[in-house]
Amino acid sequence: MRETAVKDVLRAFLATLLAVLVYSLAGGAGPALLVVLNAFSVVVLYFSVRRGEVFGAFLGTACGLVQDSFSLGVFGVGGLTKTLLGFWAGFVSRRIDVAPFFRNGLFMLAMSVLEMILWVLVTAVVRRESLNFHGGLILLQPLVTAVLGSSLFAVERRLRARGSRGA
Amino acid sequence: MPLWENRRSVLILAGLAAFNILLISIQIPRGAEKSLFERSIFFLFSPVQRAVTGAVRGAGSLWTNYFDLRGVRGENQKLKKEIFFRNQDVRFLEDQLQFFRSEAQVRERLAAFQGKIIPARVIGADSANPYQTIIIDKGSFDGILLDMAVCDRLGNLVGRTIEPVSFKESMVQLITDKDSSVSVVSAVSRLTGSLTGKSGDTCELRYVLASAPGGQLGEELLTTGYDKIYPAGLRVGSIRSLEKDELSPIFRKIAVEPYFRFNTIDIVAVITKAGGGE
């Protein structure tokens, strides 16, 4: 049990580094991709569903603060929203079966929308100004996050099924 | 003890949320200034970002180089011919130049210009809003300090260096950031104002009086140097629209399109104040 937890912590750390890589590459590809793609949210959602609300909350804090450190915005806004995202995702996924593909996608979409609403509210309160929605492009972010997150689970399920058939 | 066991996850969430709220509340009175913790996180992760970007670029260029090598012989011949004619042109121009300045003066001027520029590669953009900041692969070890002007490869103004500046990486505030402000003047009608970003792809020229004459669409804006950050004469952008400001009738509402483009800022030039860069 302890060994699995250590492995998951290591995996989460590597996934965070991967998110930094994705974010760097997306930055090079243009501003639109950065607005639409939030790799840190995908990492938080994936591990929260796997490991539960406490792991999700800690990973949310870590990922959110890393994301904040690369942004000019107020440090901690991403940390707070991703902490709550990790907690909600872990908490809900322990009470509802979110394994089937479409249910998984819907669950991820709901969580990402909640995160975005929270981020908009917190940013509006902290900075006291209206937000730039990049011509509505930012509204696609939850959808992209949901598609990527649920695809990740689908790929994992397929790999496991192949592994068990092989054994 | 029972409270901890029953409500463990909720208490952890409350603790983490309180920690983040504390971080936010520490910064609010200080505006955009970076906290020590934030700087530490940047110091920790920016080399990782630099390494992965370098590795991916390296792999990409290896692949490209392989294909490039295949046509390199023909291109080499063509370039040799081109260089020969270019050398002829250069010699002709050098002769012409001698009429106006001595060779020593020209060399001196070129050396001074090169000494004021540090070329840098862009390794990341702002994760929350790409129009606010970028991260470059040069830091304090390379001579980068705060408030140095940054231009693209064509000499158009991109922004200025801001905190944090780590040993080998620095953050650059773009002129499109809404908290950015650049003192500019229009090239023809000499309209002077403050260029502010809107965290989007356009900027706004503020504090130009409604009574000020002139100003036309497409007119170029240059830095004035009054702000003591950006050297005078850098190209910034062009006027996109001129309207009456309904909210503030004493000023004009002028939209500006910056010259720099995201797809051309893979390499930028940092203009050092004291000179002596790379």
Res B238: pLDDT: 93
Interface A-B: count of C-beta contacts within 8 A: 150
Q: What is the mean pLDDT of each run of 10 residues along chain A (167 residues)?
A: 76 89 76 83 92 92 88 83 93 88 90 91 74 76 90 86 72
pLDDT of B102 higher than 70: no
pLDDT of B278 higher than 60: no
pLDDT of B262 higher than 80: no
Q: Does A57 touch chain B (CB under 8 A)?
A: yes
Who among B24, B133, B162 is closest to A77 (CB)? B24
Q: Which residue type occupies A12?
A: A
Q: Which of B275, B238, B267, B49 is nearest to B150 (CA)?
A: B267
| B6 membership: H or E segment, kind and range | helix B2-6
pLDDT of B30 higher than 60: no
- Shortest CA distance from B172: residue in chain A: A72
- Which chain A residues touch B41 with a CB distance below 8 Å? 65-66, 68-69
Cβ <8 Å between A27 and B128: no
pLDDT-derived band at B208 (thresholds 50, 70, 90) equals: confident
Cβ <8 Å between B125 and A31: yes
* pTM above threshold 0.95: no
Q: Which of B25, B27, B22, B52 is nearest to B39 (CA)?
A: B27
Q: Which of B105-109, B118-122, B164-168, B214-218 has the lowest mean pLDDT?
A: B105-109
Who among B12, B131, B262 is closest to A54 (CB)? B12
- Which string of b and e fits A85-117 if b means at least 16 CB within 10 Å? bbbbbbbbbeeeebeeeeebbebbbebbbbbbe
Residue B205's CB: how many other CB atoms inside 10 A? 27
* Distance of alpha carbon B42 from alpha carbon B32, whole angstroms: 15
Domains, in order of start, for chain B: 36-110 (no CATH), 181-259 (2.40.10.350)
Q: Does A75 touch chain B (CB under 8 A)?
A: yes
Please list the helix, strand and coil fractions of chain B in percent, rounded to the nearest 5, in that order: 40, 25, 35
Q: Does A6 touch chain B (CB under 8 A)?
A: no
Q: Which of A48-62, B91-105, B200-214, B215-229 has the lowest mean pLDDT?
A: B91-105
Cβ <8 Å between A73 and B41: no
Per-residue model confidence as pLDDT tens digits over B188-201: 888 889 999 988 88
- Which chain B residues touch A17 with a CB distance below 8 Å? 48, 52
Beta-carbon contacts of B269 under 8 Å, excluding residues fewer than 6 positions away, are: B117, B118, B119, B120, B150, B151, B152, B153, B155
Per-residue model confidence as pLDDT tens digits over B55-99: 877 887 887 777 777 677 778 878 888 887 787 777 767 666 654
Q: What is the ipTM of this complex?
A: 0.79
Kindly list the domain boundaries of chain A, sorted by start residue.
2-162
Mean pLDDT of B23-47: 68
pLDDT of B37 higher than 70: no
| B162 membership: H or E segment, kind and range | strand B157-165
Cβ <8 Å between A78 and B34: no
